[in-house]
Amino acid sequence: MCGIVGYTGPKQASRILVEGLKRLEYRGYDSAGIAVREDDEAGGSQKPIVLIKKQGKIAELRKAVPKDMAGHAGIGHTRWATHGAVNDINAHPHLDASGKVAIVHNGIIENYMSLKEMLEKKGVVFISETDSEVIAHLVAYLYRGDLEAAVKAALGQLKGTYGIAVMHADEPGRIVGARNGSPLVVGIGDGEMLLASDVTAMLAHTKRVVYLNDGEVVSITPADFRISDLSDQAIDPKIDLVTWELGAIEKEGFSCYMEKEIFEQPESIERALSGRMDMEYGTVKFGGLNLSKKELLAIQRVRVIAAGTSWHAGLVGCHLFESIARLPAVSELASELRYRNPVVEPETLYFAVSQSGETADTLYAMREIQRRGGSVLGICNVVGSTIARESDGGVYVHSGPEIAVASTKAFTSQLAAFYLVTLAMARMHDMSHHEGVRFLENLKAVPELVRKTLGLRDHIQKIAKKYAHAKDFLFLGRGILYPIAMEGALKLKEISYIHAEGYAAGEIKHGPIALISPDTPSIFLVPNDHLREKTITSMKEIKARGGPVVAIAEEGDELVASIADDYIPVPKCDARFQPFTMVIPVQLFAYFCALELGRDVDQPRNLAKSVTVE
């Protein structure tokens, strides 16, 4: 969701802050701002912190920031509204009444009302509707000449989640950051230091980073940094090296990030598979599961914890676990599981799936399962993320940075991870060596199948133009393609704002068929297995009631082509691997519908890339 950037060093802070915020645009926001301490180079009286913040895009903030703005330390923020309307006043950073304390905050302060009432009784006047402003006034109230001590004292009174950065006009060059449930990263430069909610904000300046854990506080100056806990116990930092290049977060000739990421999928899937397929033994090799073969063999059931697109990947994974590894499996919505008083059974393996590794619902559900004695493996994209660090082991999907809010390449990389884990477990149960080798051969062919499917771009664009102005869509699939239908509907909703629903095709006669009319197109994902004929029957039921039908089916399927109003022929492959070829057309269809309607594809309204609050 919201983005944080902090900088202290010899360079012009305002330029680095705005540049960093620009790189965090993909996280989703509705306003942005910076606070910079204008150092008095002559050593005279200190000037107050200069605050500039604007509703709307970073471009509006950039216009308001003077190009020659002085100051070598500052903090910046992109806000995604939770408490209070979207306007300049509620935008971050927030100042205390004296103008000496500036803060930015990601998360939610649950007890802000009681703190606000306490401070108001002491004469403090609040100007915003946010929960975050209370932090600035509380730190100022507790300040006794030591910013780090004041921040720790304030945090001791806060309840909720936070990633914060705080500065004080009386301590030039110092920024204090802390996290509890919302990510914060320290960037270690050459004579300069940075803070950010995401490494993308600092990659132009350093690749050496430290990921803060919950309950940790960091104090940075241009020359050094110190990490400690709330009781002031020093913590020895683990310095990580970011392995990807700045170019990975550039558009590289594509019109937008989503288009680029859709077309990167052959390579991102190859990275997810690379070094993990053991063709000789017909199985896979993992380095991070942290489970012995004996422990894996003892697993009797699987549960997946996820949200949104990751939940759809989990549904595909559960289908694989049951049909191939013969293990009962369920994909759980993380936001529901945590509050359902879940039963954690022995011999059950849990997977927490999250692109960012910071999804609040999934993280909290994972912690609840672990608290009850469950073993949780993470399937994440972001190295060093909280889920990756706190899970009991797991698999990185290596899809590379995903900037567009609507996930595409991370989804197919998550699928690849599930196929690999399924094979590992199937080979420990009933799958023969010969079947394992065949499975790997099919999996190895997936990147090229995806590459061929992407060649349908122009054909899919024409179909999208034809239907883009429809108000409602149904996406229908069966078996392993049912989750892909749900994912297709979600993509269309996310970026085009068209109402769409994903259904199991066999369910349409149990209610959804009442929605069918000439104005409601249905997109069918037709499998090439035992469910093909039943899916075709559902297509005919829609056609009989005047509903337009778009069919995505194996190339050369003349029967499907003769029934459908529009036909998208995907490459032939083993039915178990059709999720890879079927998801590409629904991603492209959503993308081209959004373009036709003039939507902001990379930053759709009301959405955020990483949902770090409940």
Which residues does the chain have with pLDDT short of 70?
1, 27-28, 40-47, 245-248, 608-610, 612-614
Q: Where are the domains of the chain?
A: 3-245, 255-444, 454-614
Q: 22, 53, 54, 609: which is the annotated catalytic residue? A: 609
CB 411 within 8 A of CB 268: no
User: Can you state the percent helix, strand and coil of the chain, rounding each to 5?
Assistant: 40, 20, 40
Q: Which pLDDT value is given to residue 46?
A: 54
CB 135 within 8 A of CB 109: yes
What lies within 8 Å, CB to CB, of 396 at 6+ separation is 288, 380, 381, 383, 388
Q: What span, in angstroms and rounded, lies between the C-alpha atoms of 72 and 36?
A: 8
Q: Which pLDDT value is given to residue 167?
A: 97
What lies within 8 Å, CB to CB, of 300 at 6+ separation is 327, 328, 347, 348
The residues facing 3 across adjacent strands are 78
Q: What span, in angstroms and rounded, lies between the C-alpha atoms of 528 and 570?
A: 11
Q: Which pLDDT value is given to residue 45?
A: 42
Q: Which pLDDT value is given to residue 606?
A: 80
Residue 139's closest CA among 96, 99, 105?
96
**What angle separates helix 446-454 from helix 433-444, to the nearest 10 degrees?**
30
Fold of 3-245: Glutamine Phosphoribosylpyrophosphate, subunit 1, domain 1 (3.60.20)
Q: How many CB atoms lie within 10 A of CB 153?
A: 17
Q: Which pLDDT value is given to residue 250?
A: 74
User: 255-444 in CATH: which number?
Assistant: 3.40.50.10490
Query: Do the first three CATH levels of 3-245 and 454-614 match, i.e. the same topology?
Result: no
| The total number of residues written for the chain in this structure | 614
Decide if domain 454-614 falls under CATH 3.40.50.10490.
yes
2 catalytically annotated? yes
The reported pTM is 0.81
What confidence tens digit (pLDDT) does each residue in 225-252 have? 999 999 999 999 999 988 776 666 778 7
Q: Which pLDDT value is given to residue 476?
A: 97
Which stretches of 234-325 are assigned E, i.e. beta strand?
240-241, 277-278, 283-284, 301-306
> How many helices and strands (H and E) does the chain possess?
20, 26
Q: Which pLDDT value is given to residue 607?
A: 79
